[in-house]
Structure 1
Amino acid sequence: MQRILEHTKILKIATPPIFKHSHISMLTEAGIDLATIMEKVGHEDMKTTMKI
């Protein structure tokens, strides 16, 4: 992960969960339905996805 970040302009500490949360936010903004998002990210409980 650190090696990849060295080739970007990302200044904050980036971890896999940050990218997962960003992905979920972008899917939501794109109008993807909750069931599809949950399936993509492996959440079984809607509450987990909704927290993000």
Structure 2
Amino acid sequence: MAVDVTRMRSIARLRTNSHDVVTRRSTIRAASDVTRLVIEMTPNEPAICPNT
């Protein structure tokens, strides 16, 4: 019983760690998507409002 409990605890810990990693990756992916959108929109700004 004790061995099973420790095994279950270690599995739960691994699951929480992997979940944290997944959430971190998703937030990083979202941030990179936002920066990509900004980079894509930036070259079009001079054509829309010419400040030169």
TM-score with structure 1 setting the length: 0.32
Indicate the structure (1 or 2) with the bigger Cα radius of gyration: 2
TM-score with structure 2 setting the length: 0.32
Structure with higher RCO (Cα < 8 A, 6+ apart): 1
In terms of fraction of residues, the more helix-rich structure is 2
